[in-house]
Amino acid sequence: MNILEHYKKLFHFSFKRYEGNNYRQMREYFADVLISEIEEFMSLKDKKMLDVGGAKGEFCRILNKKRNCSAVNLDPEPQDFIWDNTIKGFADNMPFPENEFDIVVSRGVIEHIPLEKQQDSVNEMYRVLKPGGICYIMIPPWYNPHAGHGLKPFHYFPFKTAKFLRELFFRKKVKENSFEEKTLYPVTFRKMQRMILSSGFNIIATRDTHFRMHFLTRIPVLREILIPSAVFILTKDAEALKDSCIRKD
């Protein structure tokens, strides 16, 4: 990855993502980033892939096009979807058998799942992943200013205060009246790591997807504050993944 070109794209998409075709181009670009990060460990070609909370199914379409993935999009409210193989379902109770998918992806989803269902959702990702498969989970750590979505950077405050400050400084109405209505729940790097290990996953890599300063993912306090999008690359069975990598080579 050319880091200067990457930063140029980040800057461009940050300020002009909704102009013209920029949003589509942004999604395609970050799909390419996902492909490159997963394929450090496993080829995506002809694999069976699940996108948990994939919304319209854009990543499924891109990965099918670029790697011929047999992709399934799972979303609780699949509206205006663009990928035919879209199934209505919830992350904490997936309608799939065990060991079904080679790849499981969850990008920016965990923070929208109620606190009492977050661990169950990670457990379900583990259950449906094949031994030796790869799970890719991305979160915005709660103490990074980027993590508050429509309340950022005031989401650290109680909801009423965060809503007041957001409306005051951004001149945009926040229609919800609680974090629950906004489906926004805190998940820190540390908590995500704990849930991953509790589920049985092995962590094989962590990444700073936006700024590419991957070393920050190993520094406990800084990773909570400075990383806007932290990625955990996981496997269900480290020995099976090792054998897969040997065959790939």
Confidence of residue 249 (pLDDT cuts 50, 70, 90): very low
Contact, 138 vs 130, CB < 8 A? no
Contact, 193 vs 230, CB < 8 A? no
Confidence of residue 135 (pLDDT cuts 50, 70, 90): very high
Contact, 18 vs 27, CB < 8 A? no
Domains assigned to the chain: 3-142+186-248 (3.40.50.150), 144-185 (no CATH)
> How far is the C-alpha of 125 from the C-alpha of 122, rounded, in Å?
5
* pLDDT, average across residues 63-68: 96
For 230, list phi and psi in degrees, rounded to 5.
Answer: -95, 135
What average pLDDT is seen over the chain?
Answer: 93
* pLDDT, average across residues 74-87: 93
Span 4-40, pLDDT tens digits: 999 999 999 888 888 888 888 998 999 999 999 999 9
Angle between helices 22-38 and 3-16 (to 10 degrees): 140
In this prediction, residue 242 carries a pLDDT of 57
Contact, 52 vs 109, CB < 8 A? yes
